[in-house]
Structures are given as structure tokens and as C-alpha cells.
Amino acid sequence: MVANEIFYIDQFRNRLNTYAPVATDTFDKLRPILRLRPVAKGEFMVRAGQTATDFHFVCEGIVASLIVNREGNTHIKNFFTPGNFAGSKASLLRSSPSSFSLQVLDAGVIISFDYKKIKRLIYDHEDLKNFYIAYLEENWVIDNEKRQLAFATQTAKERYLTFLETYPGLDKRVSQHHIASYLGVTPTQLSRIRKIVYQK
């Protein structure tokens, strides 16, 4: 049992409503498949090579999607902060092994739900369908395109400034190593970038 359960469930529901309004009777049918639980720092919610079954909502803490290459180097694809959904989307859609891992970087609380069960509810409820479409458009298309363009057109310093804007305060909650991994630079390069940014 997690303390403040009602608070976290309300947080989840309010987040759904930012995409599209979800009726009370629809949410009442969704509620039984939600699993609220604490997560520990370092915990893997899914590992690369495993087939994901659950989608997650971050109530507290920080989760990252990451890839380890053949040389053993880690690359962070995305950070998931409170109020955001996290999951291995292609693995969920295709029921295939995930190409990356989801790991907790900062202990917190998440809501997990079986992806196949929520898909069945989406098919049967127009309001959930509207949420799902809006979520896909914003997160799987628009935000993904923004990130790809940033990495293709911005300098390392500009990418760092975009990171600070996208994830306010996160630079004080995760290691510089993690930030460097996300930006595609070495920790030494990030240190130089930070000196330039903060000396002004």
C-alpha cells in the first residue's frame, strides 16, 4: 500500500484530462487495472531484450530509457519525470523484445497498467480513444521530431540549453554523466559547456 494513493490517482487522472477529457464512468472502468507502487533507484522496469507488457505513469522520481552499445557505453534516449508516461512503445505495440531498458534513476512512485487491457478499453470508449490519439500525436510524433531535429541541427551547447528548458531542475537531480549520455557528449565536454553557460 502506497501512502497518498488518492493523490497519485488524481494526478494520473488530471494528466489524462490534459490530452482529452475522460468521463467519470470511463475512469471507473480504468481504475481497476492501475497498479500503484514504489520504485527504487537502480530498478529496471524493463530490460533490453525483454518484451514489455506494462505502460507506466511517473508520479514521483525519475525514469530513463537507455541503450547500452557493444562497447558497453550507455546512451540515454529520454528522461521521464513526474507527470509523464514511460514505456517501451514499440515493444508494447508489436509484442516484441524491447530495444532499450527503462531504469529508475531516482526513487519514487509509479502507476503501471497492462497495455493490452487499456487498449481494449480504448477501443470501447471514445473519450479514452481521444486521449490516446492526442497522446500519440504529441509524444510519439511532435516531441520525437523536435528531439531528432535538435540533435541534427544544434550544437552541443544548444542541446544542453534545450535540455534545461525541457527538463527544468533535472540537472540538479541526475548525475552529469547521465546528462552527458543524453546529449551525446563526454562528461568532460559537458563540463566545458556548463562553464560557458554558467559564467554569463
Domain contains 55: yes
Query: What total number of domains does the chain contain?
Result: 1
* Strands 54-68 vs 44-46: parallel, antiparallel or unpaired: unpaired
CA distance 109 to 81: 11
Helix (H/G/I), strand (E/B), else coil: 199: coil
Domain contains 147: no
Give me the pLDDT at residue 136, please.
87
Domain contains 142: no
Q: What domain range is 101 assigned to?
A: 5-121
Give me the pLDDT at residue 31, please.
95
Give me the pLDDT at residue 143, please.
76
pLDDT tens digits for 166-197? 899 999 999 999 999 999 999 999 999 999 98
With both helix axes pointing from N to C terminus, report the angle between 126-135 and 5-19 in degrees, rounded to the nearest 10. 80
Give me the pLDDT at residue 1, please.
58
- β-bridge partners, 54: 114
Domain contains 86: yes
Record the pTM: 0.91
Q: What is the CATH number of the domain that holds 80?
A: 2.60.120.10
pLDDT tens string, the chain, 200 residues long: the values are 577 899 999 999 999 999 999 999 999 999 999 999 999 999 999 999 999 999 999 999 999 999 988 888 889 999 999 999 999 988 998 999 999 999 999 999 999 999 999 999 999 999 999 999 999 888 877 777 777 887 888 899 999 999 999 899 999 999 999 999 999 999 999 999 999 988 85
Distances (CA, A) of 185 to 112, 155, 164, 176, 188: 32, 11, 15, 11, 8
What is the phi-psi region of residue 59: left when phi exceeds 0, alpha when psi lies from -120 to 50, beta otherwise?
alpha
Cβ contacts of residue 179 below 8 Å, gap of 6+? 160, 163, 170, 171, 190
Give me the pLDDT at residue 199, please.
81
- E-strand ranges in the chain read 35-39, 44-46, 54-68, 74-80, 85-86, 101-114
Question: What is the end-to-end Cα distance of the chain in Å, rounded?
Answer: 48
Helix (H/G/I), strand (E/B), else coil: 177: helix
Domain contains 160: no
Classify residue 172 by burial, with Cβ atoms within 10 Å: 0-12, 13-18, 19+. Answer: exposed
Helix (H/G/I), strand (E/B), else coil: 65: strand
